[in-house]
């Protein structure tokens, strides 16, 4: 589900809601989602009783200072020396309901057949109860995501936060920084290059497709073989597409929901992602869909050279 624009949407909308809330109780319904300490390895999550108890005990009574983001990781900063790291992976959702909204039904899947549901629902794995009666729900159908409790000073040791490329929307991500990245990986194909978190943070399958369409280059072109003009257009595409998507609160493909239960609206603007077989909006050629290194990429064979 979430790439940079979706995660940024969660962070922007959740931050003001959670700020200065105090946790009354945490209900962990699927222990493997949670873990404690910076060195936890993904996919070796044991969810033993000790860390489960530690997690609940540590969070009880803690006040939330703020919510921020690094790459696709959500960082919930707690008073004292603790922080919660939340990674949504493919299908994680964070939904916040105020006390008087707890009876509200939320549509958790952006498909016709999905009926709105009361929370906690079938895929709600962790519930945070705040002292003012509001609640934060963590849902995750595929159960790939996680919530990890770490000490502030341990954050630097979290391996999922190490070795990340620059944040593409920050001012410091300049054209010359981008050119330096290309020099480092000249052989990489563009689709791979854009999606590699050690090259640039936060770009996944949806936005790599859209950025490549914007830059009019094929996903299988080599990064080091672009013309000067193509490099500039690609750089501009990264900034433009991501900024636009953040403005529209992300794309709700499948199951991205905002913390309020609303949908992101950027999906309406997709030019190629999810449009395989349909016609290119610019030239009417049919959009192709091809596997590139295990991931499907969609592109216009006529507009993209």
Instruction: Report CA 197 to chain centroid distance, whole Å.
Output: 12
Cα-based angle 33, 39, 44 (whole degrees, multiple of 5): 45
CB of residue 298 to DNA, shortest distance in Å: 8
Task: Tell me: does residue 210 bind DNA (CB under 7 A).
Answer: no
Partner residues linked to 84 by β-bridges: 76, 149
Partner residues linked to 27 by β-bridges: 127
Residue of the chain from 49, 50, 100, 122 that contacts DNA (CB under 7 A): 122
Partner residues linked to 149 by β-bridges: 36, 84
3-state SS assignment for residue 303: coil
Q: Between the CA of residue 23 and those of 27, 227, 285, what are the distances in Å?
A: 11, 54, 54
Enumerate residues 143-202 that contact DNA by CB under 7 A.
143-144, 159-160, 185-189, 192, 195, 197
Stretch that binds DNA, among 57-65, 78-86, 87-95, 125-133 (CB under 7 A): 87-95
Task: Tell me: does residue 71 bind DNA (CB under 7 A).
Answer: yes
Question: Given the complex with DNA, which of 60 and 247 has the nearer CB atom?
Answer: 247
Stretch that binds DNA, among 89-97, 99-107, 147-155, 175-183 (CB under 7 A): 89-97
Buried b (16+ CB within 10 A) or exposed e, 210-248: bbbbbbbbbbbbebeebeeebbebbbebbeebbeebbeb
Task: Tell me: does residue 290 bind DNA (CB under 7 A).
Answer: no
Residues 6+ apart with CB under 8 A from 268: 248
Stretch that binds DNA, among 47-55, 127-135, 227-235, 291-299 (CB under 7 A): 291-299
Task: Tell me: does residue 2 bind DNA (CB under 7 A).
Answer: yes
Q: What does the per-residue mask of binding to DNA show for 16-45, with x meaning CB under 7 A?
A: -------------------------xxx--
Residue of the chain from 66, 98, 120, 254 that contacts DNA (CB under 7 A): 254
Cα-based torsion angle of the residue sequence 223, 224, 230, 232 in order, rounded to the nearest 10 degrees: 90
State the alpha helices, DSSP H only, in 19-85. Answer: 49-59
Question: Given the complex with DNA, which of 5 and 23 has the nearer CB atom?
Answer: 5
Task: Tell me: does residue 259 bind DNA (CB under 7 A).
Answer: no
CB of residue 196 to DNA, shortest distance in Å: 8
**Helix H or strand E encompassing 86:** strand 82-87
Question: Given the complex with DNA, which of 130 and 178 has the nearer CB atom?
Answer: 178
Question: Given the complex with DNA, which of 87 and 216 has the nearer CB atom?
Answer: 87
Of residues 190, 136, 163, the one with CA closest to residue 13: 136
- Annotated catalytic residues are 2-3, 72, 295
Structure tokens at 264: 């992101």
Binding footprint of DNA, residue count (CB under 7 A): 47
CB of residue 142 to DNA, shortest distance in Å: 4
Of residues 55, 35, 59, the one with CA closest to residue 47: 35
Task: Tell me: does residue 109 bind DNA (CB under 7 A).
Answer: yes
Query: CA–CA separation, 253 vs 207, rounded Å?
Result: 12
Task: Tell me: does residue 74 bind DNA (CB under 7 A).
Answer: no
- The contact set with DNA (CB under 7 A) reads 1-3, 6, 41-43, 71-72, 87, 89-91, 109, 111-114, 122, 141-144, 159-160, 185-189, 192, 195, 197, 204-206, 251, 253-256, 289, 292-296
């Amino acid at each position: 589900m979430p790439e940079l624009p979706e995660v940024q949407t969660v962070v922007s909308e959740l931050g003001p809601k959670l700020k200065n809330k105090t946790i009354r109780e945490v209900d962990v319904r699927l222990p493997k989602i949670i873990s404690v300490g910076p060195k936890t390895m993904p996919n070796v999550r044991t969810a033993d009783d000790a860390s489960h108890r530690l997690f609940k005990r540590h969070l009880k009574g803690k006040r939330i200072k703020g919510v921020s983001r690094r790459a696709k990781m959500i960082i919930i900063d707690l008073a004292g020396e603790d922080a919660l790291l939340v990674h949504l992976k493919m299908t994680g959702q964070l939904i916040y309901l105020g006390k008087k909204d707890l009876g509200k039904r939320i549509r958790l899947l952006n498909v016709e057949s999905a009926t709105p549901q009361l929370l906690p629902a079938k895929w709600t794995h962790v519930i945070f109860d705040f002292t003012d009666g509001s609640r934060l729900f963590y849902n995750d159908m595929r159960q790939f995501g996680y919530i990890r409790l770490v000490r502030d000073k341990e954050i630097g040791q979290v391996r999922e936060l190490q070795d990340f490329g620059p944040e593409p929307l920050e001012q410091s991500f300049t054209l010359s920084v981008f050119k330096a990245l290309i020099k480092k990986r000249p052989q990489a194909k563009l689709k791979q290059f854009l999606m590699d978190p050690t090259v640039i943070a936060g770009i996944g399958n949806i936005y790599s497709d859209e950025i490549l369409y914007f830059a009019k280059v094929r996903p299988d072109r080599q990064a080091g073989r672009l013309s000067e003009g193509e490099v500039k257009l690609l750089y501009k595409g990264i900034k433009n597409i991501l900024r636009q998507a953040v403005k529209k609160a992300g794309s709700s493909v499948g199951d991205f929901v905002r913390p309020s239960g609303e949908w992101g609206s950027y999906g309406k603007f997709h030019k190629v992602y999810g449009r395989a077989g349909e016609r290119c909006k610019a030239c009417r050629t049919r959009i192709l869909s091809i596997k590139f290194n295990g991931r499907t990429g969609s592109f216009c064979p006529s507009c993209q050279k």
